[in-house]
Homo-oligomer: A and B are copies of this chain.
Amino acid sequence: MSEKSKISMAVIRRLPKYHRYLKELLDRDINRISSKELSDIIGFTASQIRQDLNNFGGFGQQGYGYNVEELFYEIGKILGLHKTYKTIIVGAGNLGQALANYTNFDKVGFQVKALFDINPKLFGIKIRDIEIKDMDYVEEFIKTNNIDIAILCTNKESAQEVANKLIAGGIKAIWNFAPTDLKVSNDVTVENVHLVESLLTLTYLYKSRDE
């Protein structure tokens, strides 16, 4: 925990959205924006935008607003996008393979170095030049290649066991797509993508839309 808890999760989860909208503004050659204008397009209140940004420093200028390029760069830095990340995908089923093919991650500096699976039939197959390897060698691979992030795409039954292996190899960040909550020590960061939970939220809202 320590100091990182200064910034609330509510704020943290808004940061990537700022980043995405600022990128769009940059692409449209807009180089200056006020919190009011940004509010109109992103949907947060101007007050919230100013509060959020001021958690990290005074990026604006009174009477002017914010410089889009500078703000985009600063938020990128806050999010850790000043470096590239070496990742592996663990579990080379449909989802794992689809994520290996998903080029949107490359754009923000993520490299997939290998996929891992337990199914020998998959060993050696390449997805965009990324090879599927034997899960037995995952710990060794992590150490040798200084992997930062593991993308966990196994089924829920093997997720915890595989996560333990990754952590034994030195992994400190897991992007978890398995529909289960991992038990990890607090020096390991886990971000969950629980697809079924998202889908059930949709059905709830859909069902309740005109109640």
Contact = CB atoms under 8 A, between A and B. Distances in A.
A3 B205 CA distance: 12
A95 interface: yes
Nearest to A101: B94
Interface residues of A, number: 56
Contacts of A4: 205, 208-211
Contact of A78 (B20, B105, B204): B204
Number of this chain's copies in the complex = 2
Interface string A1-34: 0111001000011011101100000000000000
Interface string A75-114: 0001111000100000000110110011011001010000
A149 B191 CA distance: 26
A194 interface: yes
Contact of A102 (B7, B95, B200): B95
Nearest to A19: B200
A197 B97 contact: no
